[in-house]
Amino acid sequence: MHHSFSDDIVSVTNLRKDLPAMLTRVRNGIPVTIMQGDQADLVIVKRADLAAMAHETETLRDRIADLSSEIETLEILSDPRLLESVQEGLGAMRDGRVVALDDLSDEE
């Protein structure tokens, strides 16, 4: 069962009073949000769950980068003029009509 950070909100007073029970909840995978004054901005979460969230975040970042690259490829493929330019460049490379970057100079 998935729990959100807002499922279990406790005051600092209740956290102190019920610390063993709260830690048991965390060990069972239920995050505990701590309310201090009018702010509920601290969360106790199981280390393994935090590691899993970090891994999932990194996986999502990688997937977003992949999707961004795929979108860029689709944009190129959907632009006939750009696609023709790419094909001409590939043809030039295949035919050996290229100049090495080191062979170029500002004096030409």
Please tell me whether the overall predicted TM-score, pTM, comes out greater than 0.85 for this model. no
pLDDT of residue 4: 63
Q: How far is CA 21 from CA 16, 17, 52, in A?
A: 10, 9, 23
Same domain assignment for residues 56 and 70: yes
pLDDT of residue 40: 86
CA distance 96 to 68: 32
Number of domains in the chain: 2
Whole domain around residue 88: which residue ranges?
Answer: 49-97
Q: Give the pLDDT band of residue 105 (cuts 50, 70, 90).
A: confident
pLDDT of residue 50: 94
Q: How far is CA 45 from CA 24, 25, 50, in A?
A: 11, 9, 7
Q: Which residues contact 8 (CB under 8 A, 6 or more apart)?
A: 25, 30, 31, 32, 33
Rounded mean pLDDT, 79-105: 89
Residue 39 lies in a domain: yes
Residue 65 lies in a domain: yes
Residues 16-73: tens digit of each pLDDT: 999 999 999 999 999 999 999 888 889 999 999 999 999 999 999 999 999 999 999 8
